[in-house]
Amino acid sequence: MAYQEEEQVRLRRQRSKQAIALAMQGRWREAVAANQEIIASFPHDVDAYNRLGRAYIELGDYGQAKEAYQRAIEIDPYNVIAQKNLRRLPYLGEAGSEADSDRAEPQHFIEETGKAGVVSLYRLAPPEVLARMAAGNKAYLKVDGSGLTVTNARGEYLGQVEPRHAQRLIKLMEGGNQYAAAIVSTAEERVLVIIREAYQDPSQAGQLSFPPRSGESLRPYLSDKMLRRELEHIETEAEEPTETERGGDDNQD
């Protein structure tokens, strides 16, 4: 009996890794099929329903996405991913989410001392605009008087960079520096953006875009696990031991 349980856990983890890989590659139709296959064998797999919902969103099938997330909530009423996306769905409509072609490369999410930093936006855009943004979408900086505005690929206003960062970045941009930005995370009242120095003008040599705090060094802002979770809104239980493997019940998060 123990062997059969272990084999089921192994099979589920393997299929989950495959489904995650398809999502990371943007192969959404295949991701739908992969997660449906998991659900057929493991009908209470909350993470598979969340991945399925995400795949349907990317395909523009919001009705099916809603059903997938609702099923996840039925299994786990406190599932944060399903709750967040059910709130987000009504805002998508015909506008849809930002295209995958406008996603930043994973290496953009390395917070390098002096060259890149994560900032919190304030004076945020309305919820219907923010709902269309997802972690990994590119963002764009625009100097607006004494402020530094962040927009999406459509030119829609998302928010403003905190003044303590904005003043320094504006000065460097006026001196010739160029920056790239991407969404790290979005919530109803908080948006985090990572800004990276893409080009340093010779006149700005020696000037740090993000002066380090004590003890800081080159590090990934998001681990591989968290990057996947943020970018794809999917759980990565395939990368962690389940409760069954730890000797407990195999409960979903």
| CATH code of the domain containing 15 | 1.25.40.10
* Band of pLDDT at residue 44, cut at 50, 70 and 90: very high
Q: Is residue 248 predicted with pLDDT exceeding 50?
A: no
Task: Judge contact between 223 and 127, C-beta under 8 A.
Answer: no
Does the pLDDT of residue 75 top 50, yes or no? Answer: yes
Q: Which of 237, 180, 176 is nearest to 35 (CA)?
A: 237
Per-range mean pLDDT, top range of 13-27, 68-82, 124-138, 228-242: 68-82
53-57, 145-149, 150-154, 245-249: the lowest-pLDDT one: 245-249
Is residue 35 within a helix (H) or strand (E), and if so which, with residue range? helix 28-41
Asked if 105 and 210 sit in the same domain, the reply is yes
> Which sign, positive or negative, has the C-alpha torsion 196, 201, 203, 206?
positive
What is the CATH classification number for the domain harbouring 158? 3.30.70.2330
Let me know whether 73 and 162 are in one domain: no
163 and 55 inside one domain: no
Position 173 confidence tier, pLDDT thresholds 50, 70, 90: very high
Q: Kindly state whether residues 64 and 148 are assigned to the same domain.
A: no
CA 243, CA 250: separation in Å to the nearest integer?
Answer: 5
Q: What is the mean pLDDT of residues 88-97?
A: 65
Contacts for 212 with CB less than 8 Å, ≥ 6 apart: 113, 114
- Does 225 have pLDDT greater than 50? no
Q: What is the pTM of this model?
A: 0.59
Q: Would you state the structure tokens that stand for residue 83, as one six-digit string? A: 């709750």
Structure tokens at 176: 């010739």
CA 103 to chain CA centroid, nearest Å: 10
Residue 82 near residue 69, CB atoms below 8 Å:
yes
Q: Within 10 Å of residue 194's Cβ, how many Cβ atoms?
A: 22
pLDDT tens digits for 1-23? 576 778 888 888 888 889 888 88
Q: What is the mean pLDDT of the chain?
A: 78
Is residue 218 pLDDT above 90, yes or no? no
Residue 108 or residue 42, greater confidence: 42
Angle at 161 between CA 160 and CA 165, to 5 degrees: 155
More confident residue, 240 or 42: 42
**Which carries the bigger pLDDT value, residue 194 or residue 112?**
194
Segment holding 80, helix H or strand E: helix 80-92
Would 224 be classed as within a structural domain? Answer: no
Q: In this structure, what DSSP letter does residue 210 have?
A: B
- Please check whether residue 6 is in contact with residue 37, taking contact to mean a CB–CB distance below 8 angstroms: no
Query: What's the confidence (pLDDT) of residue 116?
Result: 87
Residues 55, 106, single domain; the answer is no
Residue 252 falls within a domain, yes or no?
A: no
Residue 244 falls inside a structural domain: no
Alpha-helical segments (H) within 137-188? 163-174
User: Which residue, 48, 88, 45, is CA-closest to 66?
Assistant: 88
Q: Is the pLDDT of residue 63 over 60?
A: yes
- Kindly report the backbone phi and psi dihedral angles of residue 218, in degrees, each rounded to the nearest multiple of 5, phi listed first: -60, 125
My answer on whether 84 and 156 are in the same domain is: no
Q: Residue 40 above 50 pLDDT? A: yes
Chain-centre distance for alpha carbon 218:
21
User: Residues 182, 137: contact at Cβ < 8 Å?
Assistant: yes
Is residue 36 domain-resident? yes
3-state helix, strand, coil in the chain (%, to 5): 45, 20, 35
Structural domain including 13 reads 2-96+234-239
Tens of pLDDT, residue by residue over 102-116, are 665 555 555 567 888
Pair (105, 213) in one structural domain: yes
Q: Lowest-pLDDT range, 58-67, 106-115, 145-154, 164-173?
A: 106-115
Domain count, the chain: 2
